[in-house]
Structure 1
Amino acid sequence: MTAQNFAPALARVLVHEGGYANHPQDPGGATMKGVTQRVYDAYRTRRNLTKRSMASIEEADLQAIYRRQYWDAVKGDKLPAGVDYVAMDGAVHSGPSQSAKWLQRALGNVKVDDVIGEARLAAVEAHPDHDQLIALMIGRRLAFLEALRTWPVFGRGWASRVAQVKQIG
């Protein structure tokens, strides 16, 4: 549970996100290193900067976006090692709200919403087996992905990613 886990978690996520992609069946649209144009535009607008193509995203901007949009959203600095990375990768891939729900459902017997607050953090800390918690999160994530209409197109790659995330987590 430390901020120093952000950099290695981001490096691992970026292995899966790659460079520029614009698959016609990807509902996220065009991305550069996992950042969509919509997200990059919002980031630049909030800083009173002119909009520009995400293809020219700078490393500092990339890190700031990932930290705020994904790592901070799942409380990465407050989660145990391994759980932090699994939650962040899930947030990047399917959104922070969905990743929070996978964590909450994996914890069991808690109200499921899209927030990782103090009660959830305490439940994670109290969980006797973080490897088991990761496995449960991954199982829920995979089931979610398999139910998507885009599974036939992207499923093989997603399954591979999820398996690697589980192993590293």
Structure 2
Amino acid sequence: MDRNFARALPLVLKHEGGWADHPDDPGGATMKGVTLATFRRYVKADGTKADLKAVTDQQVATVYYRHYWAAVNAQALPSGVDYAVFDFAVNSGPSRAAKYLQSVVGAKVDGRVGPDTIAAVSRMDPAEVINRLCDARMVFLRKLKHWPTFGTGWSRRVSDVRKDARNMVGRSADIERVPVPVPRPTVPAEVEQKVKEKSGLWQWLTGLLGSGALGLGWLTGMDWKAIAAGGGVLVVVILVLVILRSQIVAAVREIKGAVEGQGA
């Protein structure tokens, strides 16, 4: 999947734990952070709590990718910021996470992480975006009526997210791959000589064609006999090209085979 998803998912799951069905949890029954409603949406429409308990790792990854990661366009965000927004989305919903991100970077707050939001994020230091987002997230969490019950765990989670997200900034997943130059294989002397010979032949043909083209221009002002003679010259040139074409193709294949044999 995209860039940092494989690195971010285990960090999210660390805070989600296993099976939970706390009566005060507004999300209801969950397994590895996947609610029954979300499980039914992405995995099994008529799934039961027993089905949710037996959810596979691949199913969990599918749910998290489609319902949270892709929903906040995390793949388009810088390393660290992508994880911070992703975890926020898992904990409090994709739309809210997107809106808080937009608020801290000064973008239009519409809950959709599009080009304008991405551009606004890119103009800021990723570490600063992470700090501001985590601060805003804590302000939101402290206002919730379930803060007395879950506040300690939420605080620990946001603290870990802040630290882990900042550690991701500038790491390899956020750096474009630099193409590794591949050395050209050494061409044997006999092959090199054939290349030179065929190159000389091609140059001769090119010159012949050029002369033919000039001849056509010159013949336009001559009588029909001269034109017929010029036409005969062109026919000869075409015949020569037809005859030599097979030789040129064969030579190119021979050279290509020799070069590939050197690089194997």
Trace 1:1-169 onto structure 2 (pairs within 5 A).
3-45=2-44, 51-52=47-48, 53-108=51-106, 110-127=107-124, 129-169=125-165
Q: Name the CA distance, whole Å, in 1 between partners of 2:63 and 2:117.
A: 24
Deviations 1:83-141 (A, max 9, x none): 00000000000000010011111102x321211111101111122x1111110000110
Aligned residue type for 1:123: A
What are the ranges of 5 or more consecutive residues in structure 2 without an aligned counterpart? 166-264
CA contact (8 A) 1:103 1:137 kept: yes
Aligned residue type for 1:18: G
CA contact (8 A) 2:36 2:47 kept: no
- Which consecutive aligned stretches of 4+ in structure 1 deviate over 4 angstroms post-superposition? none
Aligned residue type for 2:25: D
Shift, 1:50, TM fit: 5.2
CA contact (8 A) 2:80 2:164 kept: yes
| Larger RCO, structures 1/2 (Cα 8 Å, 6+ apart) | 1
Deviations 1:23-44 (A, max 9, x none): 1111000100000001101113
Aligned residue type for 2:126: H
Size of the alignment, in residue pairs? 163
Shift, 1:79, TM fit: 0.5
Does the residue aligned with 1:131 lie in a helix, a strand or coil? helix
Percent of counterpart pairs with the same letter? 44
Aligned residue type for 2:103: R
Shift, 1:74, TM fit: 1.0
* TM-score relative to the length of structure 2: 0.60
CA contact (8 A) 1:70 1:92 kept: yes
Does the residue aligned with 2:25 lie in a helix, a strand or coil? coil
Which has the higher Rg, Structure 1 or Structure 2?
A: 2
Question: CA RMSD, aligned part only?
Answer: 1.3
Q: Name the CA distance, whole Å, in 1 between partners of 2:30 and 2:47.
A: 15
Aligned residue type for 1:14: L
Structure with the bigger percentage of helix: 2
What are the ranges of 5 or more consecutive residues in structure 1 without an aligned counterpart? none
Q: Name the CA distance, whole Å, in 1 between partners of 2:27 and 2:43.
A: 19
